[in-house]
Amino acid sequence: MKQIGIIGAGNTGANTAFFLAEKQVGRVVLQDCKEGLAIGKALDIMEEAPLARYQFKIQGTDQEEEALNSDVILLAFGAVRQPGQDRTSVWDENRKLVESFAGKLKGFGGVVIIVTEPVDASVTLFQKVSGMEPGRVLGIGGALDGERMRYLVSQELHCVTEDIDALVIGRHDKSMIIPQDYTRVSGIPVRYLMDQSSLHAIIQKVKHAGDVVLETSKRSSAFYAPAMVTADIIRAILNDSRRMFSVSTVLTGQYGVENAALSIPAMIGEHGAERLFEPKLTDEQLQKFRDSAAAISALV
């Protein structure tokens, strides 16, 4: 039986556990260092199992060893930024946690997914310390940003999201790259379906989407959408679906970048990012991509 270990039972971790149960993906072990937190949240989810007809169990625990003995491990721990802060503001605190768990998972043969902010720096540091194959350490940055793009385009055009494809690459912050030609509605580039000012406004909204959630709620950063995207990636791994996601992973020469994690399209299967793709970029976009890689390297 496939098992997913989730380290951190906060909003993103617990909701990922819920979505995995809904998708009938596999057994989940939810862990948190705060005594009783993961146990209580797992119990809450499982008490709806008779209605939802879950096939797999969600187990809560205070012991991280139970969660680390899994096929896929999600790291969903760490400090969350406050309104007015950018993602790097929590790096000093979160890098210690990332480094600690990377040391514990040296030699791990499964796949690690990271949502801890800043995600690209977290993926870079984790892979460096753990020594795991780069494709087995993933962050959700570009996949989440792409879903936000799809949603906002659907709202502008009043069409269903199922007809929309969007690609977001690079760093999971305001410097992300959203090539217009790769956002399409039923195969038609979106720039042919709306005026440039409307499209530019949507791109800016995507770049600031996390900030809007944080500033509006006043209390917490986004977690429903990140949790759903994470659950979708985990399902692709455990089902060996070979689906395409834009994920943050340490690059090995793609776009001229090495030893830094940024989001690019990847074929996701049982071994993680099994193949990386390099869609054509303009010279300006390529330079922005490389500048982002340099910034991540400087952080780590």
Whether 172 is a known active-site residue: answer yes
Q: Are 207 and 176 in contact (CB under 8 A)?
A: yes
Whole-number Cα distances in Å, 189 to 161, 168, 201: 14, 14, 16
DSSP-derived 3-state class of residue 206: helix
Check 172, 200, 208, 271 and give the catalytic one.
Answer: 172
Task: Kindly tell me the burial class for residue 274, based on how many C-beta atoms sit within 10 Å of its own C-beta (0-12, 13-18, 19 or more).
Answer: middle
Could you give the 3-state DSSP secondary structure of residue 171?
coil
Alpha-carbon distance of 262 to 242, in angstroms, equals 20
CA distance 208 to 214: 10
State the angle between helix axes of 119-130 and 283-299 in degrees (0 to 180), rounded to the nearest 10: 60
| Alpha carbons 227 and 41: distance in angstroms, whole number | 15
Distances in Å between the Cα of 214 and the Cα atoms of 119, 223, 231, 293 are 17, 10, 22, 26
Cβ atoms of 75 and 98 within 8 Å: the answer is yes
Residues carrying an active site annotation: 172
